[in-house]
Amino acid sequence: MRVGETGGRASWFQRFLLPGFALKAVIIGGGYATGRELAEYFVPSGPWGGLAAMLLATVIWSVVAALTFALARGLGAYDYRAFFKGLLGPGWIVFEAAYIICVVLMLAVFGAAAGAIGAATFDWPEWAGSALLAVSIVAVTAWGTGAVEQMFKYVSILLYTVYGLLLVLALANFGGLIGQGFANAPPPSGNWMAGGLTYASYNIVGAVVILPVLRHLTSQRDAVVAGLIAGPLSMLPAILFFVAMMAFYPAIGAETLPSDFLLRQLAMPWFHILFQVMIFAALLESGAGAIHAINERVSGAVESRGRAPLSTGRRAVIGAVILTGCMFVAGEIGLVDLIASGYRFLAWLFLAVFVVPLVTVGSWRLLRGQAAAPAGRSE
């Protein structure tokens, strides 16, 4: 171990795996975990086209995460406002506006997914699942970065285990159908590149959302390695899920909850419940990551004025206010429409205000060594 930004001894896990687990946590959300995003952006391209799009998205995530982590460490910027003040100068406010839109949409999707899962699995009214998710997010984020990091760690273990088990059970029960799906599918063609680029673009904002966990990095090498690892860690569960889904291609692409459809085909009630619990945990870590980023941004502004960091109570109030509005949006619009329409808009938005400035201005600053003065916390 070596000494990290936190002043303690940074473990190998904190330096190299935690950023990837955190990025996966923010990305997986309501559409990835339920399979709805996979159905929207990858299934239309077929088995091989979908995998090709996923690999493209993985490469984009790795490259952008590596650049983001290296620039953040160079600037000493561990909340998104400090980062974008360092990258964009006065233009940081443009990202803030885009991120607020993103958070509203993300949390609305998470709320809609939690409501749909509660209704499908336990026959609850849809508001009950959404409310349970909101209360759980507030409870975790109120306790700050330490609690959020622990959640990322343990939920990730659960998530990788359950997705791996899903693939094993799917191969055992309808492996022939999966094999047929890939054997009869044409090579990648059509809009698979557009699907991969769109999916990568609106999700890569997660690299900025998770800046608080980068305090454990001890060098620029750590930052780059952690970023490159983050892409595959984030996409691996989706690939396992997608392969299992191909047993019922193309019909599964029209399902609102592909995960629930697949679990019904397995006809294993114990695993059905386990998988839905895992999805709820994935929604929790995604929502907590989004809210925690806002809490850290507000706390950074407060501390820069010589005041104490946000208390547990204030963090809880901020989370509760944001979540109340977002869950209302979820109930009014619905999961499929939120993913199909809103996320494509976000893809273009973040390409313009994050990815393009990062790979141009950010890369130039790193190459010129101009990202060496810590920015600290900003107002």
Q: What is the mean pLDDT of residues 362-367?
A: 90
CA distance 90 to 94: 9
What is the sign, positive or negative, of the torsion defined by CA atoms of 155, 157, 160, 164?
A: negative
Q: Which of 87-101, 156-170, 207-221, 230-244 has the lowest mean pLDDT?
A: 87-101
CA distance 284 to 289: 8
How far does the chain reach from its first CA to its final CA, in angstroms?
33
CA distance 200 to 191: 14
Residue 115 CB burial class (10 angstroms; 0-12, 13-18, ≥19): buried
CA distance 222 to 121: 42
Residue 281 predicted with pLDDT over 70: yes
Residue 33 CB burial class (10 angstroms; 0-12, 13-18, ≥19): buried
Per-residue CA distances from 126 to 11, 240, 273, 334 (Å): 41, 28, 17, 11
Q: What is the pLDDT of residues 48-89, one digit of tens each?
A: 999 999 999 999 999 999 999 999 999 999 999 899 999 998
Instruction: Give the confidence band of 227 by pLDDT, cuts at 50, 70, 90.
Output: very high
Name residue 94's amino acid. V
Residue 134 predicted with pLDDT over 80: yes
What is the pLDDT at residue 337? 59
